Amino acid sequence: MPADRHITVIGAGLAGALLATLLAQRGWKVDVYEKRGDPRVKGYAGGRSINLALAERGRHALRLASGDDEVMEQAVMMRGRMVHFRDGRTDLQRYGKDDSEVIWSVHRGDLNIVLLDIAEQAGARVHFHRSLDGVDFDARVATFTNDIDSSTHAIGFNALVGADGAGSALRAAMARVSDLGERTDFLGHSYKELEIPPAPDGGFSIEPNALHIWPRGRYMCIALPNDERTFTVTLFLPNEGDPSFATVRNGTEARALFERDFADALPLIPNLEEDFERNPAGLLATLYLDRWHLDDRAVLIGDAAHAMVPFHGQGMNCAFEDCVALADHLDRAPDLTTAFAAFQAERLPNARAIQQMALENYLEMRDRVDDDDYLLQRALELRLAERHPDRFMPRYAMVTFQRMPYAVAFERGQQQRQLLVDLTRGHTTLDTLDWDTVDATVRERLTLLPRD
Ligand code: FAD
Ligand code: 8RB
């Protein structure tokens, strides 16, 4: 490893700030260059109020950086899915067995501030208003532009880490000198954010400790609680067809959609028209690369390497796991090329697995449960998890509450799915199953679960 152990990180978002912390804590010299201004400075024009679901993988990474306690101070517990049916009935489906298996809604801006604070406390230097716009990999010089005064800055680097998000400028610069095997799969659906303000008494206007879902077949709405007693609602719709963002084009048309399909949510969103017309529709896509690094000169992490669709709530959680893995490889490997290659070998198959599971969870969320086969398999799944906690665990729990590699959760999920299909074949109720055979089949076909 080069004696000076110096690294240059592009992007002080979620992954960049956490990686900077982990490396600085291990004695690395870290410089971080961020396009935007410092969100801690008064008058910072932040984005909208956006919240994210933090799960065990992300929390574990935060604990390693000693940031978990501070982040959890403002987090809101989400115990399960609150499903809102068309007729207004609701049903809370718990995510885990008790309150130790929950997810947490955190405010992106506040989270980013905590991460910047701990990065600087650990000794990392963060340079704001520095937007990467070019890299000379032969000379090892990166150039940045300041959006305030349009000044340009050239800096020499030893190695670059691209934590600059889905539209990564570093990825584009790498692709100019080497084929990364990049492709983007668009989902064909987009999203729009709306807001539920506090109730007249200042409290939450719907159950705070849940992730709300309005599943409507080809589309859906979700809502996550914020600690200031609001909810961020996200409407997911196809780009084409009816209804879609092609037919729901303005506030009036959005109101009509909500009157018909989300009637119980409509009175909660007083500024529906304004929100709909002011906030842009975001595209949803999966980004695949075959290579994440350029020898010892640059490596990509987080969304820059593997942006995914949002439906498993794992983009940030996965990006945080990347940070821990990269910091570990950098500490262990004899040189940067070895570290970057080992990081890619470990994480790329896991990124592919969570990208696939995120795609699959859209169908699960928006089109749940009127299928009898699905309901029977789901009932059996819960029974098997009780009878065989050492072998059978629902895939959602493996992804959300455990830290086994995503690829293992994916693979075991497929084995479990096939087992459920085989065991319920020819049955319409669990009462006709022969439990001795069921138990023997589980023991024969599922190995013991890995323990964290
Ligand atoms: P980012 O957090 O996007 O950070 C990139 C940083 O790089 C930014 O600060 C940016 O300003 C900076 N930058 C960009 N270009 C340049 C440049 N040229 N030069 C210098 N700096 C640059 N994930 C979850 O796990 N759970 C959730 O519930 C969840 N909800 C989400 C909700 C929304 C609305 C969105 C959009 C995403 C959500 N995600 C969620 C995904 C999560 O936000 C991302 O996976 C995560 O932020 C990735 O971290 P990152 O550091 O790679 O990228
Ligand atoms: N990016 C989430 C889940 C799984 C919930 C379940 C789903 C919004 C953009 Cl869509 C979604 C989940 O299976 O019951 N956990 O966390 C977060 C989700 O969406 C986030 C808020 C989101 N991410 C662009 C929009």
Residue 400 CA, closest ligand 2 atom number? 15
> Which of 313, 370, 374, 363 lies closest to 85, judged by CA?
370
Q: Whose CA is nearest to atom 26 of ligand 1?
A: 313
In whole angstroms, what is the distance from residue 154 CA to residue 425 CA? 65
Looking only at Cα atoms, what is the longest distance across the chain? 74
346 close to 299: Cβ distance less than 8 angstroms: no
Give the number of whichever ligand sits closest to the CA of residue 190: 2
In whole angstroms, what is the distance from residue 389 CA to residue 449 CA? 9
Q: Whose CA is nearest to atom 4 of ligand 2?
A: 312
Q: Whose CA is nearest to atom 46 of ligand 1?
A: 316
Distance 252 CA to ligand 1 centre (A): 31
Residue 3: per-residue pLDDT: 62
Q: Whose CA is nearest to atom 16 of ligand 2?
A: 313
Domain residue spans of the chain: 6-75+105-183+285-359, 186-284, 371-445
Q: State which of 22, 40, 52 you would mutate to test the pocket of ligand 1, scoring each by most atoms of that ligand within 8 A of its C-beta.
A: 52
Residue 371: per-residue pLDDT: 76
Q: State which of 48, 311, 363, 400 you would mutate to test the pocket of ligand 2, scoring each by most atoms of that ligand within 8 A of its C-beta.
A: 311
Residue 369: per-residue pLDDT: 59
In whole angstroms, what is the distance from residue 248 CA to residue 258 CA? 10
Distance 167 CA to ligand 1 centre (A): 10
389 close to 343: Cβ distance less than 8 angstroms: no
Mean pLDDT by 10 residues, the chain (452 residues): 87 98 98 97 72 98 98 97 95 93 97 98 98 98 96 98 98 98 98 97 97 96 96 98 98 98 97 97 97 98 98 98 98 97 98 98 81 88 96 97 98 98 96 97 97 82
Helix/strand/coil for 405: coil
Helix/strand/coil for 227: coil
Distance 3 CA to ligand 1 centre (A): 32
> Does the domain made of 6-75+105-183+285-359 have the CATH classification 3.50.50.60?
yes
Distance 53 CA to ligand 2 centre (A): 7
Distance 367 CA to ligand 1 centre (A): 28
User: E strand or H helix at 275, and its extent?
Assistant: helix 272-278
Q: What is the value of pTM for the model shown?
A: 0.97
